[in-house]
Amino acid sequence: MPTAVYPGTFDPITNGHLDVIRRAATLFEEVVVAVAESAEKRPTFSLEDRLAMVRETCEGLKGVRVESYSGLTMDFARSQGAVALVKGLRAVSDFEAELQMALMNRSLDASIETVFLPTSLEWIYLSASRVKEIARLHGDVSDFVPEPVARRLSQQS
């Protein structure tokens, strides 16, 4: 079972992301959770904070490694020896955007496939944007994010 890369901004990582990571880890020998620098998305958390939250969240998960990257995802995936990118899908709108990205990525490197994992039903409504909004309005996000994330979000509000 080869290596896969699960790329994202993870601003912040949610229980939905964690669900995809755990499930991907059953399919691949190694899953590299790739935290994108992603300045164009203007993340709320710094790259260092996002890396720390993802590392704390994934600590102890067998076959899971966390790295940061900038530039093309396909270049990073190639540098990791990955045979696949893992993408979580919540809704049809996710699929449309991710399919276009997968086809573009295939044109960059056809040896790296994109594997879509539908989100578990319990997390289908969850997004990092919604979590940040709830936290900003002083709501309890502890059911939606891992403890290291809930702690940091509460410190921000």
d(CA 122, CA 70): 31
Q: Which domain holds residue 67?
A: 3-156
Greatest alpha-carbon span in the chain = 46
Question: How many domains are contained in the chain?
Answer: 1
CATH at residue 85: 3.40.50.620
Name which of 31, 63, 33, 36 is nearest 47 in CA terms.
Answer: 36
Task: Tell me the CA end-to-end span of the chain in Å, nearest whole number.
Answer: 43
pLDDT tens, position by position, for the chain (157 residues)?
A: 699 999 999 999 999 999 999 999 999 999 999 999 976 778 999 999 999 999 999 999 999 999 999 999 999 999 999 999 999 999 888 899 999 999 999 999 999 999 999 999 999 999 999 999 999 999 999 999 999 999 999 887 6
pTM: 0.94
